[in-house]
Amino acid sequence: MTLHSPRLEAEQASHSPMANVSVRALRSIASSNRARVALICFPCAGASASFYDPWRHHWGETEDVYAVQLPGREDRFGEQRFACPGALAETVALEIADRLPDLPLVVFGHSFGALVAFETALALLRLEHTGPHHILVSSRIAPHLPFNSGLQATFDDNRMIRGLSDMEFEPRALLGNADLLRMFLPVLRSDLILNDGSTRGPAQPLSCPVTIIAGTVDRLAPPHLMQGWRHHTVGKF
């Protein structure tokens, strides 16, 4: 299935490929002039690139590590959020192809980030990029399976906050901060629409290895459902 974004296509028709990214998505977490691989990390629903800040000091000298800042959060707060995960992934893929043309890529996505990481891998291939050498996904079942996080974008604020609390959401302090919630909840709702409403049949399988990271007590993405990712690669699983 080919995914199209009228907004993205209109921008591409009149601008250079990178001109449609008003603020770049890739944020450096760790870098080395001896790097042999670039790791790109996609955050969970509602989260920003700073989700991965605690990882900054845990890398060696062979990796460049980037976190992805998606539209609608932090310094991209005023940017329009996307209605389709494929269109969102296209903008990230354009930047990756422009900024990281040479280093082998590894992509990692947690929860909603796993979906965007997968769509970004497909978008890179459509750009005739070599694509990632490895994909790692955690806490998100395969994209061809129906997924329900237990939270609905239509929930009012109080019900959404109760749902997040029941899921032991972190940081819990955010749930008691009205100002932060006014910024966070619209982003979360937008991501939930993408995450819960995206069910696609297996595309042309990727050729790179896919590694799943599954928690035995994860009720949303238990290990047996995470096995569905094997249908999206002909590489090692």
Asked whether the predicted pLDDT for residue 95 surpasses 90, the reply is yes
Among the ranges given (14-18, 53-57, 133-137), the one the predictor scored with the smallest mean pLDDT: 14-18
Local structure of 45: helix, strand or coil: coil
Greater pLDDT, 23 or 9 = 23
pLDDT at 66: 96
**pTM of the prediction?**
0.84
Q: Mind listing the pLDDT tens digit for each residue in 44-94? A: 999 999 999 998 888 888 899 999 999 999 989 888 888 888 889 999 999
Q: Mind listing the pLDDT tens digit for each residue in 144-185? A: 888 878 888 899 999 999 999 888 777 778 888 999 898 899
Q: Return d(Cα 149, Cα 101) in angstroms, integer.
A: 35
- Which helix H or strand E contains 117, and what residues bound it? helix 112-126
Question: Can you list the domains of the chain with their CATH numbers?
Answer: 6-232 (3.40.50.1820)
From first CA to last CA, the distance across the chain in angstroms is 23
pLDDT at 138: 96
pLDDT band with cut points at 50, 70 and 90 for residue 135: very high
